[in-house]
Amino acid sequence: KRKMSFVAPEKTTFQTAEKVNELENRIGATDVLNLSIAIDEGINIFVTLDADMLHNKQLEKEFGIEIKSPYEF
């Protein structure tokens, strides 16, 4: 059974977003913010269709999160 929740950005989210953008600047601002929220909330899998984010090893390693396509489920 998978757990899903909804969250809003915290103050630290914007600091995380800056780090994400430094590592990968091809990602749009909304995607960076959504990924940063997931990172700050301790989510271990982030699901996206964005090709620049999918299986981005540098982001996955830096933040300890898997970035997957919905088709992988």
Radius of gyration of the chain (CA): 11
Whole-number pLDDT of residue 72: 92
How far is residue 31's CA from residue 1's CA, in Å, rounded to a whole number?
26
Residue type, 50: D
CA distances from residue 54 to 2, 7, 26 in whole angstroms, order as listed: 20, 22, 12
Whole-number pLDDT of residue 8: 76
Whole-number pLDDT of residue 18: 96
* Segments of the chain scoring below 70 in pLDDT: 1
